[in-house]
Amino acid sequence: MAGKDFEMFACFKDGVILQRESDVKIWGFAKKGAHLTLEYGEKRYEAEADETGEFVFDIKTGKAGGPHHMKISSENYSEDIKDIWFGDVYIASGQSNMELPIERTIDHIGEGIDDIDYPLIREFRVPEQIRFGGYDRQFCGGKWLNASDKNDLLNMSAAAFHFAEQIFLSEGVPVGIINNSIGGTPIEAHLPEEVLAKYKIYDDEIKRCCDKEYVKKVQENDAACMDRWYKKLDDKDAGMEGKTPVYAEVSYDDSDWKSFNVPAMFYNTALKDFHGSVWFRKEFDIPEDFLLDDVMLRLGAVIDADRVYLNGRQVGATEYMYPPRRYPLGSGILKHGRNVIAIRLIINRGTGGFVKGKKYCLQGKDYIYEGSYAGKAHMPDDADVSNGRWEFDLSGEWKYEIGAEMEVLPLMTFFQYKPSGLYNSMMKPLERYKFKGGLWYQGESNAADPLRYASLTRDLIACWRKWFGKDLPFFFVQLPQFDDPSQEKMRDKWYEFREIQRQTLKIKNTAMAVAIDIGESNDLHPQNKETVGKRLALAALKMIYGKDVEYSGPVAERAYQKSGENTVTVEFSHCEGGIKTVNDNYGYFELENEAGEWLKVTGYREKDNKIILDCPKEDSKYGKVRYAWFNDPCRPPVYNGAGLPASPFIMGIA
């Protein structure tokens, strides 16, 4: 507060959205006993800083609208907060799929992003910070992002934005999102120490993290270890010699390099257990009639890190495995005729490779000069033209050579993943803020222990309702389909985890967005956050705003097998427009026989709110039924008339 008599809480700045028609607290920090006033419109409020230096104004907000202006004053200093709007405010939290910004979903949104202009949809992105053994009361920065500003929009949570968009389009009120999600974080990082104490297993870790010297030493050691590893790698890598890395030079002779078909993971290859750097090269010819302005190089997804050179010039680099490789090419880099692309791939642990099912290509915005298609006959077999764009395939045979072999990079310590650390610094400061509801997209980091997650989720909902209102609506996303490309065989059982999430619906005033049909089997961060946001918004429109909409896909309520019948009937709720089966994926339904064997059904038919399953064997009694019970149910067959998918489930048969 240098030079100031007081400091407002970080959210209270220009562009803020406050919950409409509510008792709202506006607070900040000053010297003990300082007297302050707040003025907006014709209203005036007074407050005094308490023993801790906090002051709080209790105000009453009006109907949706704005802009409003507030002036906060002390004896010698004042601040103005402008462009204030009253609307509906939601807390959005979780891990990377809630944090994922719109910029990472550009391929899904496409050119439609140019049409997005919502000045009254705003997001406050809480800066990442951690603390143990105490609480922060202030954020280390942050601003209100505005969905009418393209730079702001690209940094907004994609899932939360699309939720807010639907609420705004339906209700016409300003919508604010406060987003404190952080990638990779387990649920326990978002919970208070006193709540976690009953589990016992977190005590020692929290105690260690409370030692600031321990945390500092680990962080310094980790940073030094990583620096040493990458320096050693660069020093050993034969391909890095020269001003331009020799293996990236256009004239380099790679005729004695080995061959590799891209894309593919390194399982069952000579590189399976390799760690270090591997260089990949490919030559290709671009026809004369391809326009080379505004070209995008796409290299799918790479495990782990990459540095990419085209015709000897570095055109992109990504330091870890998850982001899609989208490298825009500046003018003069790509040429007609012969081109050479080189990739330095770094694998620091696990098995590396190029993820299948992604595009490895060049994409241009125009094909053929002056719109003529006369040159189409000159297109190579691996080029494609559609909608006035050209696409040149780079998959297939590449050459590779090892740059340097290394030991496995030791695991780093991520303190933002540790129990209670994010709550203390990124949630605790918000507990006075007024919210309309809560959005939660998290679970990937807890998928190995679904039973404990069930209890932790109940704790989380109870905490949010203690902090933000006892009936706070809680809307969450069920994990989508996934088959981890970084593992030869996926270890976590996401199907069991999804069932734990489904059971959360037993808690009053909760709703779940099913996402098994809109994920990406080969990507932990699927781009279709638009449908995720819309499905979350359907729940809010029904449960908060009272709209006559179906907000859930079919939910299995009970299953039974009548004596002497060779069928099992499953009854569902949320069957607006009836049950719809959209394909013949009979194997998504399985029945457990008396010997404990799971058998796939041979057929089914829908009737009203029921699906009648044909039993695999005659004269057999079945004890359980399950649906979509595997990690990657990418083509689920069961929907309702509203086009919403049924959740995976397992249940006993009466």
Residue 640 has pLDDT above 50, yes or no: yes
Helical axes 529-543 vs 158-171, angle rounded to 10°: 40
How far is CA 224 from its chain centroid? 30
- The pairing of strands 65-73 and 295-299 is unpaired
Is residue 115 within 8 A of residue 142, CB to CB? The reply is no
Cα separation, 14 vs 142, in Å, equals 11
The domain defined by 238-405 carries CATH number 3.40.50.300: no
Residue 379 pLDDT > 70: no
Residue pair 498/478 in contact (Cβ under 8 Å)? The answer is yes
DSSP at 209:
H
State how beta strands 6-8 and 276-286 pair.
Answer: unpaired
Residue 376 has pLDDT above 60, yes or no: no
pLDDT at 380 over 70: no
Check: CATH 1.10.3470 for 555-652?
no
pLDDT in the model for residue 237: 98
Percentage above 90 pLDDT, the chain? 91
Residue 389: pLDDT band by 50, 70, 90 thresholds? confident
CB 180 within 8 A of CB 171: no
**pTM of the shown model:** 0.95
Structure tokens at 197: 């104490």
pLDDT of residue 373: 34
Res 368: pLDDT: 44
Average pLDDT score over residue span 624-629: 98
pLDDT of residue 370: 38
Query: Across-strand partners of 653?
Result: 559
Q: Residue 603 CA to chain centroid, in angstroms?
A: 36
Q: What is the pLDDT of residues 468-481, one digit of tens each?
A: 999 999 999 999 99
- 196 has pLDDT over 80: yes
Q: Residue 377 pLDDT more than 90?
A: no
**Cα separation of 459 and 512, whole Å?**
17
Please compute the mean of the pLDDT values over residues 639-652 and round it to a whole number: 97
Answer yes or no: is pLDDT of 386 > 80.
no
**In contact, 19 and 436? CB cutoff 8 Å:** yes
- What confidence score (pLDDT) does residue 249 get? 97
- pLDDT for the residue numbered 564: 85
| Cis before 263? omega within 30 | yes
Per-residue confidence (pLDDT) for residue 374, from 0 to 100: 33
89 close to 102: Cβ distance less than 8 angstroms: no
CA distances from 357 to 315, 321, 324, 349, 483 (A): 23, 15, 12, 22, 12
pLDDT computed for residue 208 by the predictor: 98
| Helical (H) or strand (E) element with 206 | helix 203-209
When pLDDT is averaged across residues 629-637 and rounded to a whole number, the result is 96
Domain chopping of the chain, boundaries: 238-405, 555-652
Spatial CB neighbours of 216, under 8 Å, sequence gap ≥ 6: none
In the structure, what pLDDT confidence band is assigned to residue 312 with cuts at 50, 70 and 90? very high
* Predicted confidence (pLDDT) at residue 364 exceeds the cutoff of 50: yes
6 with 81: CB under 8 angstroms?
Answer: no
Q: E strand or H helix at 465, and its extent? A: helix 450-468
pLDDT band at 619 (very low <50, low <70, confident <90, very high): confident
Tokens representing residue 646 in the block = 């049924």
What one-character DSSP code corresponds to residue 429?
G
Q: What is the pLDDT of residues 246-282, one digit of tens each?
A: 999 999 999 999 999 999 999 999 999 999 999 999 9
The predicted structure's pLDDT at residue 375? 36
- The Cα–Cα gap between 324 and 301 comes to 5
DSSP strand E in 226-359: where?
258-262, 276-286, 295-299, 302-303, 305-310, 313-318, 326-329, 337-347, 353-354
* Reported confidence tier of residue 510, pLDDT bands at 50, 70, 90: very high
Name the token pair of 336: 């007609």
Dist. CA 654–CA 652, nearest whole Å:
6
pLDDT recorded at residue 371: 38
**In the prediction, which pLDDT does 384 show?**
55
- Average pLDDT taken over every residue of the chain: 94
